[in-house]
C-alpha cells in the first residue's frame, strides 16, 4: 500500500516541478510538446531540473568559455607578441598570429635575462625555501591541531595576527638586522625564515595544516600510542604519509610564491652579483646593451629592448611554474577538495 502511494507521489512530482521552472523554459517546453518531440529528447534538452538539461549546460559552458578567454587573453597576448617581429607588432592588421615567427626574440631574452644562471638561483631559492617551509609549517600546524599546548588559543591568535600584519611593515627592521648580520646579498633572508615557519605567507600555511590535521581521526594517534610510538614517530610515520595532499598543495603554493616574489629580492639582493628571475626583467635592457657594446666594439649599437623581447622574457620567467602546474594541476585541483582546507 505504502509503496504504491509513494509511487503515485513520484509520478505527480514532475508536473509540480514544471510549474516552478522559469517561464521561458516552460514556454519552450510547451512548444516542444506541441511539435510532438519525444519526451526523451525533451528531458535531455531541458532537463528535469533547471540545471541538468543540455540547454543549461550549453549556456554554462558558453559563459565559462567567455570568462576563460578573458582570463587567458593576457597570457596569449604574451605568447603571440613574443614571436612577433617589430613590423608585425606595429601593423594593426595583425592581431594574434604574426606573419613570421621571430624566434630570435627568445635568444635575446635568454641572453638579456642571463636566463640559465638566474633560473638556477631562482630554482634553488624557491625549492629549498618551499621544502623547508612546508616541513616547518606542517610540524607547527600539527602541534596546533593535535597536541596539548597550554595557552594554545593565545599562540594561535598570534598566528592569525601575523597573517594580518602586512609583511611590509616589518621589512625595515628586518632589513636593518640583515645588514648587521651581513646577510644582505645572500640567499639567507629567504631560507632562514622558512626553516622557522615564517617567510612568505607562512602563517597561512600553518592555518591550512592545522585545518587538515584536525580532520584526521583521533584514533590514529591513540592506536599508535598504544603500540608504543612516541610523538615524533607518530608524526613521521603516520601523519606525514596521510597528509600528502596537504603537503603537496602547500609546497606548490610556497614554491610559486617564492618563485614570483619580487618585493623581498628587490630589497635584500639589491647589490648582489646574482639575481633571481623575478628581478631579471629590470636588468634586461642594461644586460643587452652591455652584451652588444662588448661584441660590436667600435659601433656602440644599442639594442633597444622592444615589446616582443620583453614578452619573450616574461614568458620565459613564468614557464617553469607553468610547466609544474600543468603536471601537478590534477593533484592541485583534487587535493584542495580532499584536504578540507576549509571547515
Partner 1 sequence: MAKSQPGAVMSAREHNRNRGRQRGREALRGYLFLTPWLIGIGCFVCYPIFYSIYISFHKVSVAKDGSGLAYEWIGWGNYSYSFLKDNIFPIEMLSFLRELLFIVPITVIFSLLVAVMLNQKFRGRMFFRMIFFLPVIFATGEVLTELFSQGQGSIPFGEQYDIEGFIYGMFSPGIAGTILSVISRFIIILWSSGIQIIIFLAAFQTIPKSTFEAARIDGVTPWESFWKITFPVIVPFIVLNLIYTLVDQATSPFNPIIEHIMNNMSDVETGYGYASALGWIYCAVTIVPILVLARFTKQTNREKR
- 62-101 binders of partner 1 (CB under 8 A): 63-64, 67-68, 70-75, 77-78
| 288 binds partner 1 per the rule CB under 8 A | no
Q: What is the CA radius of gyration of the chain?
A: 29
* Lookup result for grid cell 603536471: 327
DSSP 184-249: TTSSHHHHHHHHTT-STTHHHHHHHHHHHHHHS-THHHHHHHHTT--HHHHIIIIIHHHTHHHHHH
User: Which residue shows C-alpha cell 610540524?
Assistant: 139
Non-local (6+) Cβ contacts of 231 within 8 A are 147
Interhelix angle 307-339/104-113, nearest 10 degrees:
80
Instruction: Please identify, among the stretches 9-17, 84-92, 97-105, 111-119, the one whose residues bind partner 1 according to the rule CB under 8 A.
Output: 9-17
User: Interacting stretch for partner 1, rule CB under 8 A, among 109-117, 140-148, 285-293, 294-302?
Assistant: 140-148
Cell (9 digits) for 304: 633597444
Under rule CB under 8 A, residue 167 binds partner 1: yes
- The residue (of 3 and 299) whose beta carbon lies closer to partner 1 is 3
Nearer to partner 1, 99 or 233 (CB): 233
259 binds partner 1 (CB under 8 A): yes
Should residue 322 be labelled a site residue for partner 1 when binding is judged by CB under 8 A?
yes
- The separation between CA 281 and the C-alpha centre of its own chain, rounded to angstroms, equals 21
Does residue 209 bind partner 1 (CB under 8 A)?
no
Q: Is 44 among the residues that bind partner 1 (CB under 8 A)?
A: no
* Choices 29-37, 240-248, 259-267, 294-302 (CB under 8 A): range interacting with partner 1: 259-267
Say how far apart CA 35 and CA 38 lie, in whole Å: 9
Specify the length of the chain in residues: 343
Q: Is 157 in the site for partner 1 (CB under 8 A)?
A: no
Instruction: Answer yes or no whether residue 41 interacts with partner 1 by CB under 8 A.
Output: no
Compute the least distance from the CB of residue 87 to partner 1, in Å.
18
Selected binder of partner 1 within 80, 105, 134, 140 (CB under 8 A): 140
Q: How far is the CB of 73 from partner 1 (least distance, A)?
A: 7
Amino acid at each position: 500500500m505504502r509503496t504504491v502511494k509513494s509511487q503515485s507521489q513520484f509520478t505527480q512530482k514532475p508536473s509540480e516541478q514544471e510549474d516552478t521552472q522559469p517561464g521561458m523554459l516552460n514556454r519552450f517546453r510547451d512548444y516542444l510538446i506541441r511539435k510532438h518531440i519525444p519526451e526523451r529528447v525533451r528531458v535531455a534538452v531541458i532537463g528535469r531540473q533547471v540545471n541538468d538539461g543540455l540547454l543549461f549546460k550549453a549556456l554554462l559552458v558558453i559563459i565559462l568559455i567567455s570568462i576563460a578567454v578573458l582570463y587567458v587573453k593576457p597570457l596569449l597576448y604574451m605568447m603571440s607578441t613574443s614571436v612577433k617581429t617589430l613590423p608585425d607588432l606595429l601593423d594593426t592588421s595583425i592581431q594574434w598570429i604574426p606573419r613570421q615567427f621571430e624566434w630570435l626574440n627568445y635568444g635575446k631574452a635568454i641572453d638579456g635575462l642571463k636566463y640559465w644562471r638566474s633560473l638556477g638561483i631562482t630554482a634553488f631559492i624557491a625549492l629549498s625555501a618551499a621544502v623547508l617551509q612546508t616541513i616547518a609549517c606542517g610540524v607547527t600546524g600539527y602541534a596546533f591541531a593535535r597536541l596539548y599546548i597550554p595557552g594554545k588559543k593565545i599562540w594561535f591568535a598570534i598566528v592569525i595576527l601575523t597573517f594580518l600584519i602586512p609583511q611590509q611593515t616589518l621589512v625595515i627592521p628586518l632589513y636593518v638586522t640583515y645588514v648587521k648580520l651581513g646577510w644582505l646579498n645572500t640567499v639567507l633572508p629567504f631560507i632562514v625564515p622558512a626553516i622557522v615557519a615564517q617567510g612568505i605567507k607562512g602563517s597561512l600555511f600553518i592555518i591550512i595544516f592545522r585545518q587538515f590535521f584536525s580532520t584526521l581521526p583521533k584514533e590514529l594517534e591513540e592506536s599508535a600510542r598504544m603500540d608504543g610510538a612516541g610523538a615524533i614517530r607518530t608524526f613521521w610515520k603516520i601523519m606525514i604519509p596521510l597528509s600528502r595532499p596537504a603537503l603537496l598543495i602547500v609546497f606548490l603554493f610556497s614554491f610559486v610564491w617564492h618563485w614570483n616574489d619580487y618585493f623581498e629580492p628587490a630589497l635584500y639582493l639589491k647589490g648582489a652579483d646574482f639575481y633571481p628571475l623575478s628581478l631579471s626583467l629590470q636588468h634586461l635592457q642594461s644586460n643587452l646593451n652591455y652584451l652588444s657594446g662588448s661584441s660590436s666594439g667600435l659601433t656602440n649599437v644599442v639594442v633597444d629592448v622592444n615589446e616582443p623581447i620583453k614578452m619573450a622574457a616574461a614568458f620565459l620567467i613564468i614557464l617553469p611554474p607553468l610547466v609544474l602546474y600543468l603536471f601537478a594541476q590534477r593533484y592541485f585541483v583534487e587535493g584542495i577538495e580532499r584536504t578540507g582546507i576549509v571547515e
